[in-house]
Structures are given as C-alpha cells and as structure tokens.
Structure 1
C-alpha cells in the first residue's frame, strides 16, 4: 500500500508541475544543429530517471529507447541486467544524434526513436509521461507532418525526436566529447547540474544561454560520462518486498515443496527409462529428445535477445508466406510475409544466426534495416529472422535493372549519405566496433521514400583489426588487404563503400562481363591532376546523370571521395566520419556544390 501511495503522490506532483503554464519550456519545436559540428551525427547520451511501475526494469527502458539492456547498464554503472530499478534511479541512455532536414531551410538535431501507438496514447502523454520531457508534443507534430494528433491509430508508428546535440569542433578541441541531454527540473540550478555531471556553470551557459526554464532540455558539456551511484540490489529487493513478506514466505514454501516433488518425479522417470532401454537393448538417442535438446541449446544461445525482439511461432511464419511458397521469394532464402496487417521480410537460414542476432541486438540506427523478431524451428534446426520490409528493393536492382526508372543524381547522393551514416554508426558508435564485411549494392535496401538502409549482417564481425584465414565476401567489393592477408578492419567496409560510389556514378556493375572489377578500371585510368581527370569522369558518368542539369563539379567531388576510399593502403583511406562530412558538403540537398571546391587532393590527404 505504501508503494502505491508513493506512486499516486508522485503522479500528482508531476501532473501539476507539467500542467502549470508558468513551467512551459521556452523551446518546444526542437533545437537546431550546432554550426561547425564535427559530423552530421554523433553518439551521445540522455540522462533519464524512470518513474511509475511500468518503467522499473531495464527491459522496459530498453524497449522504449530501442537499445539493449547492456547498452544502458554499462554507462549507467549497473552490474545486473535483471535487477529491478527504483523510482528516479539515474540512467544514461545512449542516443544516435543526427541533423535532420525538417523544412527546406531548417535542420533540427535529434535522435529518431520509433514508437508504436498504444491505447490511450497521445503525443503529449508519451512525451511527458514516458520520455519525461526529453521531447515535446509540438516537436513530434513537426517531424510527423502527415499524422493527425487527434486521430491516432493503435499500432501506428510515430517518430519521437529525442532532443540532443553534437559538439562543435571548438568544443571537441576543448575536450568536450559529449553534450548530455538533461531535462531541467523545478528544483535545479545551473550550479547543481554542473556539480552533478562534473561540468562548469560557464560551459553550460555557453551552450544553453542563461535563460533556462523548468522542463527545458539542457545540453551539459562533459569530457567523459560521470560515474553514477546506484542503489544496491539488496536494498532495492528489501524495500520492494517488505510489505508482502508473509506472501513471499508462503510462496517460497509452496515452490520448495513443488521443487522437491518435481525432483523425485524426474528421478523416478529417468530410472524407469533407463531400465526400459536396458530391457530392450536400445542405446540409440530418441530423435524427439534430440530435437528438444537442440531447441533448448539454440534458445540458450540467444537468451540475451529475448527481451528485445518478438519470438514468432513457426506456424505464424508458415502462414505468412503461404508455406514458404517460391512465389513469395524476394531473393535467395528471403521471403515476403504478411503478419498482422504488415509486410515483413523473413530470412530462412540453417542455424548460424547467433552472432548475427547478437550484433543486431546492439545496433539501432535509421540507416540499418530493423530486425523485428526471430523464430527457431527445432524440427529442422532452422532459424528465421523477421525484418522490416522495404518497398523499393535493393540499390543493385534500381541501378542495374533496365526496367526500373533511373535514379536522379540528387537521389543517388542522398542514398550515398544514408549508407555512409549507417556505416559510420557501426564503426564509431558500437562497442566493440562492428565490421559489416559484405557491403555491396544488393545489401542496400530502399524504403518507400527511397531512403537507404544497410541489410544482411550475416558476415559481420564484432571487433576489428583482426586476421582470418576464412575469406568471405563478394567479388568486386572485397578489399585487397583482406583478400591477400585476411585483415579485418573498418577500412575494408570503406573500400566496399568506395565501390558503391563508383556504381552510383557510372550506373555500371562492380564486375563487368569479362570479370574485371570496376575499381581496377578506376585504378588504371584515373590518375593525374584534376583537369586531366574531368574528361575521363564525363566519359565514366551514367548517361542518365548527364541528361540532368547537375554540376559536373558535384560528380567530381563524389568521384574524389570514391578514389580516396579505394586507396590500396588501408591507413590512407578516410574514415566514415570524414566521408559523411565530405558527402554532406557535396550533397546539393544542403549546399550549392559549385561553391564548395572539395578537390581530389583534399580528400586524399585526409
């Protein structure tokens, strides 16, 4: 009863504080991107304190923010992934903060979080009661212009923009590595926030100004995350259970008796089976028992994933694909399936998906294809991965299928930026870093808005700067150092991305009919100064691009990035951070390319 009374009082306090017109934040529609920030996206954190009985475990918080429990536990100094949380416990939530074009003249800085509308939800309720003012209902309306706030449908997906910012070059030079998103509370002061996070009042005011109001999002500059003090699990358990001590003791007695009975029954059953097998002279393992053991083993392998993804029944997937009918094949062993009113891509594979699931569990980015769930079929030891379905298929098909409408240069640039952002995320913002190892145009999928997402992490490796004798990949995209020496690093993904840029520019495949790689042709023909290169680039460009009115300088800029990415020496290739920055400067969705002047030599020198 005391716990329920606490939550009731806490809810009333929050209601009156948030509803008060004197405590409205000054900024409700969002925060513009920092000028001269080091990249268009960055890894940052939001300070979050769970409230209410539905948020008092890591699984609930990880679902809300679309990250794994481990990604919250590590920066938050939490040692157990399963221990209950207490109201107002301090957490750091990892965010991928990006610059997003909202209007033609406005770019806002926020982390995109997909939220599925439930019964009774409104933009205001979710923003205040679930995300605790890390966003506002006005900003949700801004980034979802096609949705009607008073006519939301249960099951509808909505983007909730969590306010965040990336540090500028100057701030990075001054050892500011993160701008932590923190919601200013009624009893806060700038000095108390500075003390809590190990920052200074001067730095906080420089970033946020001196007119900070209650419920404003404050961006706290820090060089490293402070170590949060967490309550001990024993005290949490005692406080939570003290009011129900009698019930718990009774339950323990019942469970103890049941456990003893189960042990006795299991022992008798095993003894009976042993005698029966000896009697019949059978030493072979029962196939059904073996299947059960395999199923248990497979589920144990992916136990860490069970809290984040939906576990489908095989019957659901069988029905969704009409019995895995060949007419529903998208490509290879990937089927199109219809479940609960939505289309999904269902990948059927023999059991080798454990590593892929573990990698997918710790990544969450708008330019990576989202895994919705999985299924394990113990009868055939098959695993099925259920992904979001992307309507416009692969980039390979859009570029090389003559029946498809040709992509414009602007669209190709946007796709290049999307791919680069996805690779930057897995290279820079996962711990340890992830190397995709199979970046190619057929593994780049396009959604309804023709935005690109990276798919197929079947060959991905968590960790880099390793060596292997087992060479895998696709001819035409494999980096030379990996092919010859088995060196695994993020720079092999950079090389493959360079090949995709060549495909986008030329409209040609990575390998021609004679088996010659496109990048080898570029090595042979694209040498010399920029003036001599321009006629060669014009001959290399896709005819569909030449028919447009795009600037040849724009194509030259991207070509120079591709050449730099394909350098034989991996250490001479730019990082994906540099590539994203260079592409965004070259992307005529943002600037007039003719004024940028990014030469080949400037990119090669990075």
Structure 2
C-alpha cells in the first residue's frame, strides 16, 4: 500500500505579541465523556495559512533529497561509520530483525549499543548504533555520493518511500534510492527484486582525523531537536557539528552528521510515564479487569481439575501403546513421513528392502566414504547416504535447488523401525576432488581441468547464494564435498550442515578444520561470506596440491597470510614456491595461476564485508587466459566454462 509523504510543518519559535483570542468549541459526539476541545480561531487560521505558504514556497523543500556529495581526494575511499537508529513496535523490537535489515550480525549492533543480551526483546524507542561501511560512490560522471550500500529484497506492499521511512527511519530518501537504482521503475516494483538502499553517511576528512574525530554518526533530525541538544546527547560540540554539516537550516527528517572521537554510551529509555489524568480515567477499567480476572481464575481452577483427570487417562493409554511395538512403529513412521510430506511429490520414496538389496545389506565393500555407499538399483549406480533421522532440513533445502553444479538428489527412504533415513543421490564416477588432488595414485589433474572445477564450484555457490529465497549457506564447502562426474565437471555435495537464511548467530560451531571462516569460529556468524572463505581455501588446494591442514596442524590459509603480504611484484616469485610441482612441470600460464591466487587471497580476507561476492568471483575466474573452447567430434566439450 502506498503512503503519501508526511507533511512537515516548520514553525519558527519567535516571540509573539500578547493577543486576546476568542475561542470556539468543537464538540465530537463520539468522544468519551463528551469532552470538548477549545481551539483559538486565530491560531487555527494562522496554522492553515502557514501550510499554504509551506507548500507554495520552494525554499522549504528538503535540501538533501538525493544524498551528500563526497570527494575521494579529501576522505578515505571507505570507512567505519555508525547510524543512530531507534527500535520501534511492533516489528522492530528484536536484534535479529534489525540485523537482517542492515546486513550485520547481532553482536555488531549489541556491542556499541551497550546491549548485554542478544535474545532479549528491545524496549520501544530503544536507541541503537548500527555499524556501516561508508563509501564514496560514483552515481554518474559528475556526481559522487557518500553512502553505505544495503541490499534489500522488495516485499509485498513495498515502495521506495515506505521502506525509506518505515524501515530505515529516513536514514535515506526515496529520491536517493531511485538515483542508485536506475534500472528499477518505482511505480512498478516486482516482489523479489533486489534494490540498493543508500544509507547516508560520511567519512572524516584528513583534517578531522588529525583533530581526533574518528566517527561521523548519521542522525535523523527530529522536530524537537536542536543542534545544541544533539551535541549534548552525543558528547560533541555545536561548532564541530555546524562545521561538518554547514551553517544552513536543518529540517526534520534530514540527516545530521555528528562528529565524535568515540561512541557515547547508550542507555535504555525510561519506562513511559502515565499522567495522573490518564490513570484516573482508567480506574474503572482496572476495577472491571480485576473482576474479570477473578472470574477467569475460578474458571481456570475448574479447568485444571478436568485437565488433571484427562492427563491421567491419557497416560494410561500411552502406557498401553508402549507395550505394543507394532503401534510404536506405526506412530514413528507417521511422524517421520509428516516431516517430509512436502518432498513426497518431487522425489521417489524407496523401500528399505530395495536399498538393502542394492548394497548387499550395506556391506563395507560398497562404502564410498563414511556412511555413503554405492548401490545398484535396476542396474543403475547410485550413492546412498545412511544417517540417523536428522535429514529433514537437508531435504527441505534440496527440494528448492536445481542446478547442474549441485549433486542431484534422486529420492529417499525412511526406516521407521530404526529411525534411520537414507538419501539416494546420483553417482559421480570420478569421486571427490580431495581424492583426485591428494591421492597421487590417481591421474594428475592439469591446470585447465582445475580451473574448470573452480568455475563449476563457483557457479554452484553463486546459485545457492543469489538465486534461492531465502539464500542458502552451505557451511561445509571443502574438497571432499566437491564431486566429479565422468567429464570432470564438478558438483557440490552434502547439504547436511546447510542453513536457509543469512546473518544468523549460532553457538553450535560445526565444520571442518582449515575451512572454517574466522568470524564463524569466533562469533558464530552464519553468512554467505563464510562459504566464500571456504571456497578460497579450495582454490589454494587447487593451486598448491596440498591439504587444507598440514601434518603439524597449520592451516593452508594461514601460510598464505604470512607469505603473500606486502608488495605484489614479489608474489609471482613466492607463487612458484607455493604451486603444485605437477603444474610447474606442465608449464601452465603463470598469469592464469596468479589470477586465481589473487581471487583466493580476496576470498580469505579477514573482514567478511571485504570479501567478493560469488558473482564477482565467477566473472574474475572466467577472465583467465586458460579458458578455451574445445571442439571435438561430439561438438563442444564439457570444458566450455564460458558457455556455462
């Protein structure tokens, strides 16, 4: 639903001469107790006259509707900034929803906002500091605007204006959103469209940094604010605020940048006070409520007795059912099948007997790796994964993905007797990338094949990161979870740890040593950036032929941190010492390997926000010199990575 822009009436506080004003009485018959409102006629007239001049005079139009100009030569290209934000009822009273909106983790908001609990609900109007990565962005050939890019997916009923005012609380404007999204039509937005919302911010100049101004806080000017009150609230000064923002008139809903040397400590707002008149009016209501609660209490006592009797009867029935194993088996099967009922129309449901026959009773001779067995069903090979009943989430994720670089799930089976679940996948002849890289008894992978594998995996991750709603995070990207088919095309397997949804916090850290992103290991932050970090480690494996963790327990990415810092002209020399000997003997293009190494280093950046997206990674990999079209008798070969 579209909401018209809010009308802001800007009344100057000037001393008026004393006037004796006649009053009129306006009676609203629907008002409680027939209360009357007395409004001076002269003020009523002046108020509407002011609105008329406000609308007809251009000098009252907002002065910064499209953003705040910046100059890259005067400030850093990007910096850490903060926005002042207030939690509002009913949908913004928890850190989770606010962190999702601003694409940051809950601890990143809680720490500067002096919040102890990450799960407790917020108080209405509780102040928060939202961390922003502020950047000077070029919007056209002549204009640079300073803002933090926030990706937002259009929801039903959204307009640029509604989202800017209701969700982002005027930290941006709909005019600025239109400016940075030239391909989107504001009056014809499609649900699911991705838009950039530019949150206004500024980076300190070099002079301000020398004067110990570290942050510029983005604050939306309120009707009751003055520059003096803002300076007092944030521990700044009127002079420094005016210097940063200019000496012009600041209007409500405009952004004021408050310079500070450190973030002030925020305190929770006091409880809302109820006036004496309001409490008096509600006395009757409170008495009525007390009587009602007393009646309800008596009713609950009666219901409690009935419930206790019902519970005793139900327990006896359950005890009888426990004696009947067949009944227990049926109940378990119904419960398990109900959990995956949404998947029944997409996948084939196998019988336990079929899978036992396919694997000779899950004989160890048919083990591929861990609890995954090779089995033949109607003469066709499959990979059958045996697991205890914890596959519900994996099934839900797999049923909404369909891509050539993801291992395809063919069907599943539920063994209600042992509460086991079996997932039946397509079988890939060339096994895992881990085995092909680190088992020297296998055929050696040349550089072109390795590069093609990297692009296949990048395409698969790009699909689950960008084309699923909500986005899927794999959480366990590693060489043993990358499988190769007969044509050496790579497919991502094992979605057992995958999570649907980003920017979550978990205390249960899972994954494989050597591939886990630092922010996930330390803070439990789940995001697509953790997959990108793990993909960077896989690229290091492809280049070096080494495992992610050596015999001494040192991670491969730590070695890269230590050896590939400093001047880039020395990297090529170090790269030759890092590369797989097989690749050196092959005399592959060093420029191509260096390109992939640069991508890997970018993926391994300690700051998740500075890691590239999978879209950028796929594009960068496809620029390699060693990509080619190979024409054979069967047409174009599987290594046509550009075509994919």
TM bucket (normalised to shorter chain) is 0.5 to 0.7
Extract unaligned runs of 5+ from structure 1.
1-171, 178-197, 200-221, 228-273, 592-606
SS at match of 2:335: helix
Q: Tell me, in whole angstroms, the C-alpha distance in 2 between the residues paired with 1:328 and 1:478.
A: 30
- Alpha carbons of 1:486 and 1:381: their partners in 2 closer, same or farther (altered >3 Å)? same
User: Does structure 2 retain, via aligned residues, the 8 Å contact 1:499–1:510?
Assistant: yes
Aligned position for 1:413: 451
Q: CA deviation at 1:287?
A: 2.1
Q: Tell me, in whole angstroms, the C-alpha distance in 2 between the residues paired with 1:223 and 1:538.
A: 51
User: Does structure 2 retain, via aligned residues, the 8 Å contact 1:561–1:579?
Assistant: yes
Q: Tell me, in whole angstroms, the C-alpha distance in 2 between the residues paired with 1:587 and 1:490.
A: 28
Aligned position for 1:175: 183
SS at match of 2:586: coil
Aligned position for 2:397: 359
- Alpha carbons of 1:288 and 1:587: their partners in 2 closer, same or farther (altered >3 Å)? farther
User: Does structure 1 retain, via aligned residues, the 8 Å contact 2:321–2:328?
Assistant: no
- Alpha carbons of 1:480 and 1:350: their partners in 2 closer, same or farther (altered >3 Å)? same
Pairing partner for 1:494 from 526, 529, 532: 532
Aligned position for 2:152: none
Deviations 1:332-391 (A, max 9, x none): 110001011210000000000000000000000000000000000111000000000000
User: Does structure 2 retain, via aligned residues, the 8 Å contact 1:436–1:461?
Assistant: yes
Aligned position for 2:490: 452
SS at match of 1:453: strand
Aligned position for 2:433: 395
Pairing partner for 2:332 from 294, 297, 302: 294
- Does the alignment pair 1:439 with 2:439? no
**1:555-570 counterparts in 2 under 5 A?**
555-570=593-608
**1:487-566 counterparts in 2 under 5 A?**
487-566=525-604
Q: Tell me, in whole angstroms, the C-alpha distance in 1 between the residues paired with 2:505 and 2:181.
A: 34
- Alpha carbons of 1:283 and 1:545: their partners in 2 closer, same or farther (altered >3 Å)? closer
Aligned position for 1:265: none
Aligned position for 1:250: none
Q: Tell me, in whole angstroms, the C-alpha distance in 2 between the residues paired with 1:506 and 1:176.
A: 44
- Does the alignment pair 1:321 with 2:329? no
User: Does structure 2 retain, via aligned residues, the 8 Å contact 1:444–1:455?
Assistant: yes
Aligned position for 1:404: 442
Aligned position for 2:246: none
**1:105-144 counterparts in 2 under 5 A?**
none
Q: Tell me, in whole angstroms, the C-alpha distance in 2 between the residues paired with 1:320 and 1:176.
A: 53
Q: CA RMSD in A?
A: 2.5
Aligned position for 2:511: 473
- Alpha carbons of 1:283 and 1:533: their partners in 2 closer, same or farther (altered >3 Å)? closer
Q: Tell me, in whole angstroms, the C-alpha distance in 1 between the residues paired with 2:614 and 2:398.
A: 20
User: Does structure 2 retain, via aligned residues, the 8 Å contact 1:175–1:223?
Assistant: no
Q: Tell me, in whole angstroms, the C-alpha distance in 1 between the residues paired with 2:321 and 2:355.
A: 36
Q: Tell me, in whole angstroms, the C-alpha distance in 1 between the residues paired with 2:625 and 2:354.
A: 43
User: Does structure 1 retain, via aligned residues, the 8 Å contact 2:589–2:626?
Assistant: no
Q: Tell me, in whole angstroms, the C-alpha distance in 1 between the residues paired with 2:335 and 2:555.
A: 43
- Does the alignment pair 1:588 with 2:642? no
Deviations 1:156-209 (A, max 9, x none): xxxxxxxxxxxxxxxx975169xxxxxxxxxxxxxxxxxxxx99xxxxxxxxxx
Q: Tell me, in whole angstroms, the C-alpha distance in 1 between the residues paired with 2:183 and 2:420.
A: 49
SS at match of 2:546: coil
Deviations 1:189-240 (A, max 9, x none): xxxxxxxxx99xxxxxxxxxxxxxxxxxxxxxx974799xxxxxxxxxxxxx
Q: CA deviation at 1:284?
A: 4.2
Q: Tell me, in whole angstroms, the C-alpha distance in 2 between the residues paired with 1:463 and 1:550.
A: 40
Q: Tell me, in whole angstroms, the C-alpha distance in 2 between the residues paired with 1:578 and 1:587.
A: 17
Q: CA deviation at 1:283?
A: 7.6
Q: CA deviation at 1:514?
A: 0.2
Q: Tell me, in whole angstroms, the C-alpha distance in 1 between the residues paired with 2:583 and 2:321.
A: 70
Please report the TM-score for the alignment, with normalisation by the length of structure 2.
Answer: 0.49
User: Does structure 2 retain, via aligned residues, the 8 Å contact 1:308–1:361?
Assistant: yes
Identify the structure with bigger relative contact order (alpha carbons < 8 Å, sequence gap 6+): 1
Q: CA deviation at 1:285?
A: 3.9
SS at match of 2:368: strand
Query: Computing the radius of gyration over CA atoms, which structure comes out larger, 1 or 2?
Result: 2
Pairing partner for 1:310 from 330, 348, 365: 348
Q: Tell me, in whole angstroms, the C-alpha distance in 2 between the residues paired with 1:423 and 1:446.
A: 16
SS at match of 1:365: coil
SS at match of 2:543: helix
Q: Tell me, in whole angstroms, the C-alpha distance in 1 between the residues paired with 2:333 and 2:321.
A: 22
Q: CA deviation at 1:580?
A: 0.4
Q: Tell me, in whole angstroms, the C-alpha distance in 1 between the residues paired with 2:526 and 2:340.
A: 25
SS at match of 1:337: strand
Q: Tell me, in whole angstroms, the C-alpha distance in 2 between the residues paired with 1:283 and 1:409.
A: 63
**1:321-340 counterparts in 2 under 5 A?**
321-340=359-378
Deviations 1:424-473 (A, max 9, x none): 00000000000000000000000000000000000000001010000000
Q: Tell me, in whole angstroms, the C-alpha distance in 1 between the residues paired with 2:445 and 2:322.
A: 61
User: Does structure 2 retain, via aligned residues, the 8 Å contact 1:413–1:587?
Assistant: no
Pairing partner for 2:462 from 416, 424, 429: 424
- Number of aligned residues: 330
SS at match of 1:427: helix
Deviations 1:246-267 (A, max 9, x none): xxxxxxxxxxxxxxxxxxxxxx
Aligned position for 2:610: 572
- Alpha carbons of 1:525 and 1:474: their partners in 2 closer, same or farther (altered >3 Å)? same
Extract unaligned runs of 5+ from structure 2.
1-179, 194-312, 630-644
Aligned position for 1:602: none
Deviations 1:540-585 (A, max 9, x none): 0001111113211111000000000000000010000100000011
User: Does structure 2 retain, via aligned residues, the 8 Å contact 1:584–1:590?
Assistant: no
- Alpha carbons of 1:552 and 1:283: their partners in 2 closer, same or farther (altered >3 Å)? closer
Q: Tell me, in whole angstroms, the C-alpha distance in 2 between the residues paired with 1:471 and 1:226.
A: 31
Q: Tell me, in whole angstroms, the C-alpha distance in 1 between the residues paired with 2:323 and 2:433.
A: 49
Q: Tell me, in whole angstroms, the C-alpha distance in 2 between the residues paired with 1:565 and 1:462.
A: 22
